[in-house]
């Protein structure tokens, strides 16, 4: 008996153009994640398109999310075929279904990897290694977002043991976003990295000696830039650190920067302000390829006796010396932009299903700065 041509035709949704299927899937994600999951169950074709939407922007905001995604990328069946195994104690082979998430899929699909943990305590080495492994497997990623406690993971890309699955190409991201200043220097001689200096704290007005750095920062001759840094053209340091770091040391590791964003706290140490301004002027004078330098000024914030309580000292950001000095540099060089910062904004910009549903993720941060105009609040 002949099969009716009407019954032999594939479902109408599968026959739609790819762009239209992606748009439908994006709308389903915006309405409800369960709606997207139900849509993905209709066919393998739809599942493949929904996977593209879910993986082109990967946001890992919790340790649980990091471990789940790591489990996914580490359990990839590179050949994407069903595998028959006979576990101990089983008479029949267990069939593992072919996975739609392959090594090649991760390399070509994941364009933005945002790890926005804010409760992570630095010093947990294994997690740093795991983040480095994720970056290696998502070798086509263009934007990487890291909290300061995990920033050193990018330094370990390419140096981990090769016994585990690896990507066929090395990562070459063009944009790196770090929540705060991090020491990414790799000393030429063996040994530990130089410790960060403690941040200045308010002192009585008649203190005869202002606070100064007690040890010199590493110079360009004492550190080594890594190959992955040569691809990065856009660098964002989102917030000032609790400890003073000169931006020159970090910025000098990236030789091809066209866009840079630095953070500075208002009403902080005057000597460190001078070092910061000197680094800004040096970047403008020495970086011929630099097109945009954004200085984000934050209100002075200190920890109270209670760890859960925070308070702000000093007057407004726009009344600070650092704001006035950067504004003056802005008048001399149009590449400079000065903005007022908000603590925690770097992580919030990656929140919400609309970030995952959008083909461009949260959009171009640099374009948003230009549209808002210098002197505005981010």
pLDDT of the residue at 211: 40
Residue 359 pLDDT more than 90? no
Give residue 25's pLDDT band: very low, low, confident or very high (50, 70, 90). low
pLDDT of the residue at 275: 94
- Angstrom distance (rounded) from CA 342 to CA 327: 19
For residue 344, being part of any structural domain is answered with yes
pLDDT of the residue at 156: 87
Q: What pTM value is reported for the model?
A: 0.77
Cα–Cα distances in Å, from 69 out to 13, 60, 61, 352?
29, 8, 11, 18
- 192-225 pLDDT per residue, tens: 343 444 444 444 443 333 444 434 444 544 556 7
182 burial class (0-12, 13-18, 19+ CB within 10 angstroms)?
buried
Average pLDDT over residues 40-69: 83
Work out the angle between the directed axes of helices 33-40 and 44-56 (0-180°, nearest 10). Answer: 140
Q: Which residue has the higher pLDDT, 315 or 187?
A: 315
Top mean pLDDT of 78-87, 158-167, 177-186, 322-331 is at 322-331
pLDDT of the residue at 16: 64
Q: Residue 370, SS3?
A: helix
For residue 300, being part of any structural domain is answered with yes
Q: Which residue has the higher pLDDT, 243 or 92?
A: 243
- 255-297 pLDDT per residue, tens: 999 999 999 999 989 999 999 999 999 999 988 899 999 999 9
pLDDT of the residue at 266: 93
pLDDT of the residue at 248: 87
pLDDT of the residue at 29: 59
Helices and strands: H and E segment counts in the chain: 13, 16
C-alpha triplet 127, 128, 131: angle, nearest 5°: 85
Contact 150, 128 (CB under 8 A): yes
Q: Residue 257, SS3?
A: coil
Give, as one character, the DSSP assignment of residue 377: B
For residue 287, being part of any structural domain is answered with yes
- Name the region of 45 (left: φ>0; alpha: ψ -120 to 50; beta: rest): alpha
Residue 8 pLDDT more than 50? yes
For residue 328, being part of any structural domain is answered with yes
Residue 141 pLDDT more than 90? yes
175 burial class (0-12, 13-18, 19+ CB within 10 angstroms)?
buried
pLDDT of the residue at 374: 67
For residue 285, being part of any structural domain is answered with yes
Residue 98 pLDDT more than 50? no
For residue 258, being part of any structural domain is answered with yes
Q: Which residue has the higher pLDDT, 2 or 178?
A: 178
pLDDT of the residue at 74: 77
C-alpha triplet 157, 158, 160: angle, nearest 5°: 85
Mean pLDDT, the chain, whole residue set = 76
pLDDT of the residue at 57: 94
Which range has the worst mean pLDDT, 40-44, 71-75, 215-219?
215-219
- 321-341 pLDDT per residue, tens: 999 999 999 999 999 999 999
Domain that holds residue 344: 57-81+97-184+219-372
For residue 364, being part of any structural domain is answered with yes
Average pLDDT over residues 135-155: 93
pLDDT of the residue at 162: 54
pLDDT of the residue at 41: 64
For residue 359, being part of any structural domain is answered with yes
pLDDT of the residue at 77: 43
Number of domains in the chain: 1
């Amino acid at each position: 008996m002949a099969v009716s041509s009407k019954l032999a035709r594939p479902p109408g949704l599968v026959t739609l153009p790819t762009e239209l299927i992606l748009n439908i899937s994006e709308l389903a994600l915006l309405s409800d994640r369960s709606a997207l999951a139900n849509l993905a169950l209709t066919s393998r074709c739809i599942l493949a398109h929904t996977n593209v939407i879910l993986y082109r922007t990967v946001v890992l905001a919790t340790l649980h999310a990091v471990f789940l995604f790591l489990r996914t990328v580490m359990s990839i069946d590179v050949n994407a075929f069903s595998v028959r195994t006979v576990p101990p104690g089983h008479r029949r082979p267990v069939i593992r279904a072919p996975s739609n998430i392959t090594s090649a899929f991760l390399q070509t699909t994941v364009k933005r990897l945002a790890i926005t943990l804010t409760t992570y305590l630095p010093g947990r080495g294994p997690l740093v290694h795991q983040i480095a492994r994720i970056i290696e497997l998502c070798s086509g990623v263009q934007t990487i977002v890291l909290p300061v406690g995990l920033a050193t993971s990018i330094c370990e890309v390419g140096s981990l043991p090769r016994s585990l699955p690896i990507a066929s190409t090395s990562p070459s991201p063009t944009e790196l976003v770090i929540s705060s200043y991090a020491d990414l220097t790799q000393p030429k001689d063996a040994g530990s990295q130089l410790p960060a200096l403690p941040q200045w704290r308010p002192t009585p007005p008649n203190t005869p000696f202002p606070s100064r750095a007690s040890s010199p920062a590493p110079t360009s001759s004492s550190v080594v830039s890594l190959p992955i840094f040569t691809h990065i053209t856009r660098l964002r340091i989102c917030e000032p650190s609790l400890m003073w770091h000169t931006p020159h040391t970090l910025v000098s590791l990236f030789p091809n920067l066209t866009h840079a964003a630095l953070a500075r706290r208002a009403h902080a140490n005057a000597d460190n302000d001078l070092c910061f301004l000197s680094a800004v002027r040096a970047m403008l004078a020495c970086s011929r390829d630099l097109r945009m330098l954004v200085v984000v000024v934050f209100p002075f914030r200190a920890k109270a006796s209670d760890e859960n309580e925070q308070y702000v000292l000093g007057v407004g950001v726009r009344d600070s010396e650092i704001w006035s000095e950067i504004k003056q540099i802005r008048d001399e060089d149009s590449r400079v932009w000065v903005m007022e910062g908000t603590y925690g904004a770097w992580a919030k910009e990656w929140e919400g299903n609309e970030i995952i549903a959008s083909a461009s993720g949260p959009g171009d941060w640099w374009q948003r700065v230009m549209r808002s105009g210098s002197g505005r609040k981010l």
